[in-house]
């Protein structure tokens, strides 16, 4: 908030403004502290494995999580993020489409980023130094909500009843994670991922994770924010009804094209509206057979459920 605007308020108005702010639940700023670490990430179920990763966490004494912690703000909000690099290699932190500072944070160092989130939407944050760093798990989602946190995709944008965030990604365990995680040199000319994740989970977990399953009452509308943090494009296929794409990689669409499959290119984002049309459980899966698997085991890959109730 501009200081000059505050000075325009009389004292009584100032009290009222503060009260309004308290009751509206609005916040002045979001502040996050992130730590970059090496560790292990587990994909459960048949075909699953413990995978060496480099990732973010917001818990100083915990291991990294994949994807990293969800970062959130509202339109117009100031955000401060401090990143501590507790890994042995240099890393950076970029919120694609919002921040531009690509300075490397040396091992043991830290860097603070201060920026304003002016445009509601979903953004990929990651280490952009090289493809290995992102593949190893250094990525996550930044969601900018409409001002006031209202249930609209953006101020004066389309409304929704429920919201979901899907971060899809892939890992080549034997050629990239095992090698890089042991300090070796990855041959980046060969990438054959065998793990495909939905919010860091194999499909067996993702099909029963409450915040991942797209679940609503018939007639309700779900807003789905999608981030493809992987190296491969992913075509997500929704069953039971068509959706309307409202945002393609940050570009808001004026005419909402209906469809049942959306191709989200590697490193990009999308937002869509899905109206719950009929009762029952239906799949949402990625339309490339291999990407539905965990080391070849079907449906323990990038998949979840759509539940109309």
Which residues are at the interface with Cu ion (CB under 5 A)?
237
Distance in Å, CB of 253 to Cu ion, minimum:
23
Residue 38 tokens read as 């090496």
Those residues whose C-beta lies under 8 Å from the C-beta of residue 279, and which sit 6 or more positions away, are: 218, 308, 309
Decide: residue 78, CB within 10 A, 0-12 exposed, 13-18 middle, 19+ buried.
middle
Q: Measured from the CB atom, is 106 or 280 closer to Cu ion? A: 280
Decide: residue 281, CB within 10 A, 0-12 exposed, 13-18 middle, 19+ buried.
middle
Distance in Å, CB of 228 to Cu ion, minimum:
18
Distance in Å, CB of 204 to Cu ion, minimum:
17
**Residue 152 per-residue DSSP state:** B
Q: Measured from the CB atom, is 237 or 242 closer to Cu ion? A: 237
Residue 246 tokens read as 């409202």
Q: Measured from the CB atom, is 221 or 299 closer to Cu ion? A: 299
**Residue 143 per-residue DSSP state:** E
At which residue do the structure tokens 């994670």 appear? 177
Report the DSSP beta bridge partners of residue 85.
36
**Residue 270 and residue 226 in contact, taking contact as beta carbons nearer than 8 Å:** yes
Q: Measured from the CB atom, is 82 or 263 closer to Cu ion? A: 263
Q: Measured from the CB atom, is 97 or 222 closer to Cu ion? A: 222
Distance in Å, CB of 283 to Cu ion, minimum:
6
Please count the CA atoms within 13 angstroms of the CA of 3 that sit on its side-chain side. Answer: 0
Q: Measured from the CB atom, is 286 or 294 closer to Cu ion? A: 286
Q: Measured from the CB atom, is 152 or 237 closer to Cu ion? A: 237
**Residue 68 and residue 34 in contact, taking contact as beta carbons nearer than 8 Å:** yes
At which residue do the structure tokens 């997500």 appear? 236
CB atoms within 10 A of CB 101: 13
Distance in Å, CB of 237 to Cu ion, minimum:
4
Residue nearest to Cu ion (CB): 237
């Amino acid at each position: 908030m501009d200081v000059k605007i505050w000075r325009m308020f009389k004292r009584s108005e100032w009290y009222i403004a503060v009260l309004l702010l308290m009751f509206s639940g609005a916040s002045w700023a979001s502040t996050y502290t992130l730590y970059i670490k090496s560790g292990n990430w587990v994909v459960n179920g048949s075909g699953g494995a413990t995978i060496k990763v480099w990732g973010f966490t917001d818990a100083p004494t915990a291991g990294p999580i994949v994807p990293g912690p969800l970062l959130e703000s509202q339109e117009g909000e100031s955000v401060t993020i401090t990143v501590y690099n507790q890994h042995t290699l240099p890393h950076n932190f970029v919120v694609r489409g919002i921040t531009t500072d690509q300075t490397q944070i040396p091992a043991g160092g830290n860097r603070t980023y201060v920026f304003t989130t002016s445009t509601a939407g979903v953004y990929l944050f990651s280490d952009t130094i090289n493809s290995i760093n992102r593949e190893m798990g250094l990525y996550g989602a930044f969601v900018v909500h409409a001002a006031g946190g209202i249930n609209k995709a953006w101020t004066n944008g389309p409304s929704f009843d429920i919201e979901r965030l899907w971060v899809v990604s892939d890992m080549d365990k034997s050629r990239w994670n095992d090698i890089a995680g042991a300090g070796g040199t990855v041959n980046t000319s060969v990438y054959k991922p065998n793990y495909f994740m939905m919010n860091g989970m194999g499909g067996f977990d993702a099909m029963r994770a409450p915040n991942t399953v797209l679940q609503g009452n018939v007639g309700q509308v779900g807003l789905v924010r999608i981030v493809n943090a992987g190296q491969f494009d992913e075509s997500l296929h929704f069953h039971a009804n068509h959706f309307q794409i409202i945002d393609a990689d940050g570009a808001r669409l004026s005419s909402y094209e209906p469809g049942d499959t959306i191709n989200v290119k590697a490193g990009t984002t999308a937002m869509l509206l899905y109206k719950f049309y009929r009762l029952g459980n239906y799949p949402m899966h990625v339309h490339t057979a291999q990407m539905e698997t965990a080391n070849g085991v079907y449906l323990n890959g990038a998949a979840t459920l759509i539940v109309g109730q």
